């Protein structure tokens, strides 16, 4: 049977998260371009929303250890949840994952394995460990409990601000967008839910266009948390994103750079590139938001040297591309 996620699952997740990973602030942005509200998942104890799905999924595991592949924040969430549940955690990541994220995971006591140059390589190692060591695998996005956990974000936005007309969701493997789409549309079927990805290496966006899961080449990005494939065997996040997203828009590295500056100088918020793609989509006019619009500020676990370069207007080199520095235009 095709697994599916319902609002009953989302309510059950909300109960499990209560007092630990719920009720992050929803605050108005000072940015003047729209009636913009920021859902501050950067206030989570691990600095990213992924704790919601991870806690919901790890609590259901019977094995005494868990394993996952991750672009960084899912691994941190799983490590945190495993520690809370007294379980062992092994986190498999590619060499594209920034050191700041690796360090954060190690600090939680998890066993970190750096494997290859893509999320697919890390995924293969996670699968091997399921067989070899009897660990339970927790997908970063294609798992009903993970999606139900992430869906609590949309439910909280709509409970706090029911008149929200548009929700902008950073889009990678699509667990966040699948869950947010479900819970926002359950509250108001007329509300628009728009996925935002970077314009290079956006696997879900390409897959939605192709009508089936496709692989894309992974490239370094300021929005590193949005890298990685969606899995050719994707069962859940792909069909849910297809059904719930009204649209997907793309932003460039330069646009992410400018939005990181904007969020810092205007709202004084420190957030990673993946967190600001919604703001970037508004700043560039790629999304036209007339009514109240909310975006999920998904995480803050970036490399601080890179962040400092961005806010001081210096060049940033990512693999073989350099983003030309530009001071923040006040």
Ligand X SMILES: *Cc1c(COP(=O)(O)O)cnc(C)c1O
Q: Does 172 bind ligand X (CB under 6 A)?
A: yes
Q: Does 222 bind ligand X (CB under 6 A)?
A: no
31 is written with which tokens? 């940015």
**C-alpha to C-alpha distance for 282 and 194, rounded to whole angstroms:** 11
Query: Which residue is closest to ligand X by CB?
Result: 299
Shortest distance, CB of residue 39 to ligand X, whole angstroms?
12
228 vs 292, which CB is nearer to ligand X?
A: 228
**C-alpha to C-alpha distance for 151 and 181, rounded to whole angstroms:** 8
User: Which residues partner with 28 through β-bridges?
Assistant: 37
Shortest distance, CB of residue 170 to ligand X, whole angstroms?
4
Shortest distance, CB of residue 208 to ligand X, whole angstroms?
12
Shortest distance, CB of residue 191 to ligand X, whole angstroms?
19
What string marks each residue from 174 to 203 as x (binds ligand X by CB under 6 A) or -? xxxx--------------------------
**C-alpha to C-alpha distance for 92 and 125, rounded to whole angstroms:** 7
Question: Of these, 274, 283, 289, 293, which contacts ligand X (CB under 6 A)?
Answer: 274
Q: Does 94 bind ligand X (CB under 6 A)?
A: no
85 SS3 class: helix
What string marks each residue from 41 to 80 as x (binds ligand X by CB under 6 A) or -? -------x-x----------------------x-------
Q: Does 141 bind ligand X (CB under 6 A)?
A: yes
294 SS3 class: strand
Sequence-ordered strand ranges (E) for the chain: 26-28, 36-40, 65-69, 88-93, 111-114, 136-137, 166-170, 192-198, 247-251, 293-297, 316-318, 321-323
Tell me whether residue 285 is exposed, middle or buried, using C-beta atoms within 10 angstroms of its C-beta: 0 to 12, 13 to 18, 19 or more. exposed
Let me know: does 47 contact 299? Beta carbons within 8 Å.
Answer: yes
Question: Of these, 102, 171, 280, 294, which contacts ligand X (CB under 6 A)?
Answer: 171
303 vs 326, which CB is nearer to ligand X?
A: 303
1 vs 101, which CB is nearer to ligand X?
A: 101
Q: Which range touches ligand X (CB under 6 A), out of 27-35, 124-132, 260-268, 270-278?
A: 270-278
Site residues (vs ligand X, CB under 6 A):
48, 50, 73, 140-141, 170-177, 225-226, 272, 274-275, 298-299
């Amino acid at each position: 049977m095709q697994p599916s996620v319902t609002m009953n699952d989302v309510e059950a997740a909300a109960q499990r998260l209560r007092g630990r990973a719920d009720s992050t602030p929803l605050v108005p942005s000072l940015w003047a371009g729209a009636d913009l509200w920021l859902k501050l998942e950067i206030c989570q104890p691990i600095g990213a929303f992924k704790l919601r799905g991870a806690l919901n999924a790890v609590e259901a595991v019977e094995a005494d250890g868990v394993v996952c592949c991750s672009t960084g924040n899912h691994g941190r969430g799983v490590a945190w949840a495993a520690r809370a549940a007294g379980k062992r955690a092994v986190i498999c990541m590619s060499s594209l994952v920034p050191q700041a994220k690796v360090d954060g995971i190690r600090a939680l006591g998890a066993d970190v394995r750096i494997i290859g140059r893509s999320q697919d390589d890390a995924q293969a190692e996670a699968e091997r460990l399921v067989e070899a060591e009897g660990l339970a695998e927790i997908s970063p996005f294609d798992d009903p409990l993970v999606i139900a956990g992430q869906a609590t974000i949309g439910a909280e936005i709509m409970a706090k601000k029911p008149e929200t007309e548009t929700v902008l969701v950073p889009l990678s493997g699509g667990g966040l967008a699948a869950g947010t789409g479900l819970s926002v549309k359950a509250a108001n079927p007329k509300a628009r839910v728009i996925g935002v990805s970077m314009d290079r290496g956006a696997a879900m966006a390409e897959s939605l266009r192709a009508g089936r899961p496709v692989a894309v080449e992974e490239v370094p990005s300021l929005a590193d948390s949005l890298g990685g494939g969606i899995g050719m065997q994707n069962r859940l996040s792909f069909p849910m994103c297809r059904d719930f997203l009204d649209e997907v828009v793309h932003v460039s590295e330069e646009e992410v750079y400018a939005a990181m500056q904007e969020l810092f100088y205007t709202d004084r918020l420190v957030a990673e590139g993946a967190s600001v793609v919604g703001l970037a989509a508004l700043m560039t006019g790629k999304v036209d938001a007339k009514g109240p619009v909310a975006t999920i500020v998904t995480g803050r676990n970036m490399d601080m040297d890179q962040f400092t370069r961005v806010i001081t207007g210096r060049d940033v080199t990512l693999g073989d591309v350099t983003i030309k520095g530009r001071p923040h235009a006040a």
